[in-house]
Amino acid sequence: MMTLISIVALAAIGGLLGGLLGWASKALKVEGDPRVDELEGMLPGGQCGQCGEPGCRQAAEAMVAGKLGPDCCPPGGRSLAQSISSLLGVALTEGGEDIPVVARIDESLCSGCTRCFKACPFDAIVGANRQMHTVIRHVCTGCRLCEKACPQGCLSMDPVAPELHTWQWPKPKVA
């Protein structure tokens, strides 16, 4: 008798909880992952494609799905990688970091074709038809889209040199 009651009781509890879970999964369903929208808002939005995805939205989806690491976005740099890793709760690997770069136009080679500034998603290049172009260094994110667009090959990426107020103290060496 006792065995029967136990079996029935356990089955009832199991059924009840299962039903509750089934109801909850339907009633409390979230369309898409809200983190994708949040992530997309954090990304630079240049659609530069350096992460290997066609655009920032797709990159955000891939990161949420775990297909891309939080440090996949070179224009966002280290700080973006850190905020993404804390949002997604993914560990950030040390050292896999790109040196920040900015574009530089070799002005003796520039033909003024305007292709680079059409390619720039951030409007960081100014110039006009058959006029020499130049890069606004503090706006450039180093996304390298202009480098591919230039037919003259006069665009190069320079590492950002530290200045007095941007120089960083090295981390002490651990004993």
Partner 1 sequence: MLALKRKPFHGGIHPTGHKELTANEATINSDEPQRVYLSLQQRNGVVLRSHVNVGDTIVKGQLIATGPNDMCVPLHAPINGVVDAIGPHVSAHPSGLKVNTLVIRGNGDPNWGIPHVPCDTSKLSPEEIIQRVLDAGIVGLGGAGFPSGMKLRFARQKQVHTLLLNGGECEPYLTCDDRLMRERAAEVAAGAALMVRAIGCSQGIIAIEDNKPASIDAMRSAISDRPQLSVQVVPSLYPMGSERHLIKAVTNQTVAPGQLSTEIGILVHNVATAQAVYEAVRYQRPLIRRIMTVSGGALEQPANINVAMGTLVSDVIAKCGGLKMEAGRLIAGGPMMGQVLPSPFVPIDKSIGGILALSKDEIRAEQSHDCVRCGRCVNACPMSLMPFQMAAHSRISDLDGARHFGLDHCLLCGACSYVCPSRIPLVQYFQHARSSLNAARTMERKSAQARQLTEARQARLHREAEAKKAAKAAKAARKPRKRTARTSTRTQRNTSNNTSSS
Residue 95 interacting with partner 1 (CB under 8 A): no
List the x/- string, 37-66, binding to partner 1 by CB under 8 A: -----xxxxxx-------------------
| Tokens, residue 39 | 């992530």
Residue 33 CA to residue 31 CA, distance in Å, equals 7
Taking a C-beta distance cutoff of 8 angstroms, is the pair 75, 141 a contact? yes
Q: How far is the CB of 44 from partner 1 (least distance, A)?
A: 5
Residue of the chain from 12, 21, 78, 131 that contacts partner 1 (CB under 8 A): 78
Residue nearer to partner 1 on the CB measure, 44 or 49 = 44
Tokens 């590492």 belong to which residue? 159
Taking a C-beta distance cutoff of 8 angstroms, is the pair 63, 84 a contact? yes
* Alpha helices, DSSP H, located in the chain: 2-27, 34-42, 56-65, 77-88, 115-119, 145-149
Name residues whose C-beta falls within 8 Å of residue 129's C-beta, 6 or more positions apart in sequence.
Answer: 112, 114
Residue of the chain from 2, 95, 138, 153 that contacts partner 1 (CB under 8 A): 138
Taking a C-beta distance cutoff of 8 angstroms, is the pair 73, 81 a contact? yes
Number of residues that bind partner 1 (CB under 8 A): 35
Annotated binding site for [4Fe-4S] cluster: 48, 51, 56, 73, 110, 113, 116, 120, 140, 143, 146, 150
| Tokens, residue 121 | 């998603």
Q: How far is the CB of 109 from partner 1 (least distance, A)?
A: 26
Residue 30 interacting with partner 1 (CB under 8 A): no
Residue nearer to partner 1 on the CB measure, 92 or 113 = 92
Rg over alpha carbons for the chain, rounded to the nearest Å, is 26
Residue 172 interacting with partner 1 (CB under 8 A): yes
Residue 77 interacting with partner 1 (CB under 8 A): yes
Tell me which residues touch partner 1 (CB under 8 A). Answer: 42-47, 75-80, 82, 86, 94, 121-124, 138-139, 141, 162-172, 174-175
